[in-house]
Each structure stands twice: as structure tokens, then as C-alpha cells.
Amino acid sequence: MYFEVNGKRVFATTGGKPFDNNKPTVVFLHGSGFDHTVWNLQSRFFAFRNYSVLALDLPGHTRSEGPPLESIETMADWLHDVFEWLDINNVSLVAHSQGCLVGLELAARYPGRVRSVSFVTSGLETPVNDALLNAARDEPEAAIAMMLGWGFGPAGHLHQGPIPGNSMVSGGRKIMRGNTPDALWTDLNACNNYKNGVAAAGKVSCPTQVIVAGQDRMVPKKATDKLIEHLGSPAVAVIRESGHIVPQEAPDKCRTLLKDFIFENNPTT
């Protein structure tokens, strides 16, 4: 569905069911350069289990109007504006990669607005190497190749997607090409500049979950360990065989982990 936030058109898929702000809501937030479709093997599941679902496109990403937002803090405020606009309170936030930093900041700034946060492949902060950052600014196609090359693990590179006939890597490339030209650079720059992870994690009071990818080449293990340490006592699960883009590469295990956590912490009546 489309709606307007701060005068800009925003897109979110609702997983095939009408959005109803009286139900518990699962909000899915994508990572750098991606869009809502990264969650398509999780979002529809929750929509058909009596949750309202919003799998958002951040501004400047495929179907949401730009420009892309320049900092993690701005994205957190924007996400809060989405909640305000749609009048939703009972939210389980599920975030991937960059989206996790946004989720961290949102949960710290607006503690009453989320019932739980699921961090899928995240660090406490996410410094970005110069080669990727410069490519995102100067050679977007090269940057997309780096993102997908490092982002996917063996299953992705062997085109062994879980949906018969579908190629995750090729699909990912089309999504990234569909963003506004500066979206990836703006995203990565925002990640690189985010330094508030320790302080934010200390303020998160809702139940949290961290899903780790055993073959993650985008987020170093020590960065994830720091997130886990500063969140206190999150539920932690490792999907050994997956690369960074877990929602696509290990969708069934990811969905099961999310289901168990969200059903427990934000049950439907």
C-alpha cells in the first residue's frame, strides 16, 4: 500500500492482507540498497497468521519517494513518523543489517513504541570499507556487485534459492538498480557514520532477538558480539550455512526463529 509521510509517498507491502492497526503489527525493515521484497518469505507468513504487516521501502528505495535519508537517526525518526501516521503501537520490528541500526536507534529513542526487536545480521555499529563506499559514490554497478558478492553465501552464489526457479543474486541486482542512484551510497554512508550504538543499546528495554549468519562477510563476528553484549540478554540464534542476506538465503530458518520469538513476545489474541 501507499501512504504519505511528511509529504512524501511511502510504499509498504502488507503481505497480502489489508492493514489493520488494531492488530499486533510486524514491521519489516530492509538493509542498505534493498527493498521490501527481501522479506517476501517472511512477511506473507505473518500476514496470514493474524498480524498486520508492513514491509517498508525506505525513502528513495524502489517504490518509496526519495530522497534517501542521510543518517540512521533520521531513519529512526522517519520510522517513528510512519508509526504515528498509521497510528500503530503494538509493533514487533524485524530488521536486517542497516535496518538493525535504525531499529536500535528507534527502540532507544521511542521505547514505548515497540514490543520487540529482531536484529537479523547486525553489528552494534557498521563501519563500511572505503572501497565499497567510494564505489557506491562513483561506480554504482561495481558497488552493487560488491554488496551481492559479499552479501550472499554459497547458496546465493550457486543460485540455490528456496523458491523453485528464482535466482536470489539476479533478483537482488534488479532491486538495487531500481533505487534512486544515490540510495546505496547514502545508506552506506549513514551506516559508516553511525556511532551511537553503545548508548542506544543501553536504552533498549523491550525483548530482543539477534539472528547471526555463520557465513556473514558483511558484519564481522566481533561487531555482532558487541551488539549481543550491549543488548543484555537477547535471544541469539546462529544460522551456520547462511551468508549476510539471511531473509533470502535461509528464509525457512529465519521465519521459524522470528515466528517463535514474535509469537511469544507479541501474541495475537
Partner 1 sequence: MSRFLNFDTLALHAGQVVDPEFGARAAPIYQTTSYVFPDTDTASSIFNLERGGHAYSRITNPTVGVLEQRIAALEGGSAAVCTSSGMAATFCAITAILGQGDHIVASAQMYGGNISLMKNTLPRFGITTSFFDPTDTNACRAAIQDNTKLIYGELIGNPGLDILDLDAIGKIGTDHNIPVMIDATFNTPYLCRCFDYGANMTVHSVTKWMGGHGTAIGGVVVDGGNFDWGATDKYPTITEPYAPFSGINFWEEFGPAAFATRIRAEAMRDIGPSMSPMNAFLLLQGIETLSLRMDKHMSNTMDLLDYLSNHDQVSWVNHPSLASHSSHELAKKYLPKGAGSIVSFGVKGGREAGKAFIENCELASHLANVGDAKTLIIHPATTTHSRIDADALVAAGITEDMVRLSVGLEDVADIKADFENGFRAAKRIAKG
Please report, as ranges, the residues that interact with partner 1 according to CB under 8 A.
13, 15-16, 35-37, 40-41, 43-45, 48, 62-63, 145, 148-150, 153-155, 157-167, 169-171, 174-175, 177-178, 217, 251-252, 255
- Crossing angle (nearest 10°) for helices 72-86 and 98-109: 70
Tell me phi and psi for residue 256, to 5 degrees: -65, -45
CB of 216 to partner 1, least distance (A): 11
E-strand stretches of 85-139 = 91-96, 114-120
* 216: helix, strand or coil: coil
For 160, residues 6+ apart whose C-beta sits below 8 A from its C-beta are 154
Q: What is the DSSP letter of 15?
A: T
CB of 248 to partner 1, least distance (A): 11
Q: How far lies 246's CA from each of 64, 91, 161, 205, 211, in Å? A: 23, 22, 11, 25, 9
Q: Which is nearer to partner 1, 66 or 178 (CB)?
A: 178
Q: Which is nearer to partner 1, 58 or 204 (CB)?
A: 58
Q: Which is nearer to partner 1, 195 or 217 (CB)?
A: 217
Q: Which is nearer to partner 1, 176 or 231 (CB)?
A: 176
Q: Which is nearer to partner 1, 187 or 249 (CB)?
A: 249
CB of 26 to partner 1, least distance (A): 13
Measured CA to CA, the distance from residue 154 to residue 188 in angstroms comes to 24
CB of 244 to partner 1, least distance (A): 10
Q: Which is nearer to partner 1, 62 or 208 (CB)?
A: 62
CB of 165 to partner 1, least distance (A): 4
The residue to which cell 559514490 is assigned: 137
CB of 48 to partner 1, least distance (A): 6
Neighbours of 138 (CB within 10 A): 10
